[in-house]
Structure 1
Amino acid sequence: MRSPRHENGPPDLTTPGGFGAFYEEHIDAVLGFVTRRVADPHVAADLTADVFLAAMDSASGYRPDRGAPVAWLFGIARNVLSGHARGLARESGALARLSGRRLLGDEDVAALEERIDAQRAFRALAEQHAALSEPLRAALDLVVLDQLTPAEAARALGVTQATVRVRLHRARRALRGSGPAQYPVRETHLEVAR
């Protein structure tokens, strides 16, 4: 079946019927063009479909004075194949950059998730710690981080041991009341501070 033509003879690519007839007339030629350049039959079928999609998109730009319709289709096919080759080159380059890198296993993903959760909890705790008044923060840091006894912390701060105990109690209560994150307070020192 020949494609419908205008009065002067070029194919009518602007109507579904005209383009369907054009497709039927040229599918074998385009498929042959593509399969001579691509070994995989599935890729060849996909690329052939891409050629006709591109032809449909640019049908309004078809100029019969520039050559036969099949030559126009082969020009489109060359562009489609070239784009496909560029895509393969990009993919090959990406795979080459990844080669030698270990992909994450389930254990790695679980470890990363734990680390992210720990960092999130740490940031929340750091914000809570920063919100404490300086006297509460100083007493807490000396006992928890520097691992001094309340008596040693009192000497370092120049206050009484009772003052340090009160500050530790208030700091602990403030941190526990701020949310689920717990300040890693050593219970032995807190028991003494109570």
Structure 2
Amino acid sequence: MHSPRHETGPPDLTTPEGFGAFHEEHIDAVLGFVTRRVADPHLAADLTADIFLAAMGSAGGYRRHRGAPVAWLFGIARNVLSGHARGLARESGALARLSGRRLLDDEDVAALEERIDAQRAFRDVAGRHAALSEPLRAALDLVVLDELTPAEAAQALGVTQATIRVRLHRARRALRAPASANRPDPTLEAVR
């Protein structure tokens, strides 16, 4: 025989007393529902707690005319267990996809380390290049990247060949300098 509380709906779950009474009255039924479906006791305890948290969050949605509070709780429990099962399926699928990948052997690791070191060196040089003043960078780019002669680069920039040679010397020196010494040099800005 059900207590009167089953007939009137859940108590106010927003108060500690109301939630405590509701939990006390229905914990065994919910635990039974969960343990019939889950073999791990820790998981059963976690899922039961999740069910009561979900019930607390949706207590305003309980409708007495739809059935007893325990049926409402079992509906929540089904949703919580379904969500858990979907999460396990996603996790299992991800693990299956990962397990299909081959593991790296020592040769693969060495090759990757080499590549990472090369990229690190490239990033270091690129950073030094970006730190050059615009006039030094323009002279260097025209000669090194665009493969112009210093005379052609001087003509393109509208400066003398002597100015281009000084800019190239300073740009190359800055690129060779250790990263810690790669601070802006006021004299580099003076040559335009």
TM-score by length of 1: 0.63
* SS of alignment partner, residue 132 of structure 1: helix
The amino acid of 2:76's aligned partner reads I
Q: Distance in 1 between matches of 2:119 and 2:137?
A: 28
1:85 maps to 85
Gapped regions of structure 1 (runs ≥ 5): 147-152, 158-162, 182-194
**Could you tell me whether the CA contact under 8 Å between 2:34 and 2:48 is conserved in 1?**
yes
1:42-61 matched pairs, under 5 angstroms: 42-61=42-61
2:170 maps to 173
User: Percent same amino acid among aligned pairs?
Assistant: 62
1:81-160 matched pairs, under 5 angstroms: 81-102=81-102, 114-127=117-130, 128=132, 131-132=135-136, 141=144
Shift of 1:100: 2.8
Q: Distance in 1 between matches of 2:84 and 2:19?
A: 24
The amino acid of 1:132's aligned partner reads L
**Could you tell me whether the CA contact under 8 Å between 1:132 and 1:171 is conserved in 2?**
yes
TM-score by length of 2: 0.64
Q: Distance in 2 between matches of 1:32 and 1:81?
A: 13
The amino acid of 2:55's aligned partner reads A
Shift of 1:113: 5.5
Q: Distance in 2 between matches of 1:27 and 1:64?
A: 20
**Could you tell me whether the CA contact under 8 Å between 1:129 and 1:137 is conserved in 2?**
no
Higher relative contact order (CA 8 A, sep 6+): 2
Shift of 1:66: 1.2
**Could you tell me whether the CA contact under 8 Å between 2:9 and 2:64 is conserved in 1?**
yes
Shift of 1:10: 2.9
* SS of alignment partner, residue 56 of structure 2: helix
